[in-house]
Amino acid sequence: MLTLTQNASTIVREITHQSSEADAAGLRIALEATPEPAFAISSTDGPQPGDATVQQDGATVYLDAGSAQELDDKVLDASVDQEGGVQFALGLQG
């Protein structure tokens, strides 16, 4: 199952709290239909039917079936650039 770094957990929590008051709010990662694996990330008030849930250090991430399979052995990291934009990166669990 996908894991989150401490930085990713902190940033996901901040994004979630800024965008929604819902108790089940989180980020949702969905696999896009492209030749190379690509992911759409959006804030959401809760999971869609069939979503897997990753909860770590107070952060909640929902994964659709395709992304759950693709990201099963991955670690999600995140950082904020100088302009305040969030950058997500994937690595292998080690």
Per residue in 45-91, pLDDT (tens digit) is: 999 999 999 999 999 999 999 999 999 999 999 999 999 999 999 99
Of the chain, the end-to-end C-alpha distance in Å amounts to 13
Per residue in 3-50, pLDDT (tens digit) is: 999 999 999 999 999 989 899 999 999 999 888 879 999 999 999 999
Q: Which of 68, 61, 48 is nearest to 88 (CA)?
A: 61
C-alpha span between 78 and 36 (Å, rounded):
21
Q: How many Cβ atoms from other residues are within 10 Å of residue 51's Cβ?
A: 20
Q: Number of structural domains, the chain?
A: 1
Range of the domain at 39: 3-92
- Confidence (pLDDT) at 72: 95
- Confidence (pLDDT) at 82: 94
Strand order, beta sheet including 3-4: 3-4, 74-80, 86-92
Q: What is the CATH number of the domain that holds 7?
A: 2.60.300.12
Which residues, in sequence order, are bridge partners of residue 6?
A: none
- Confidence (pLDDT) at 33: 85
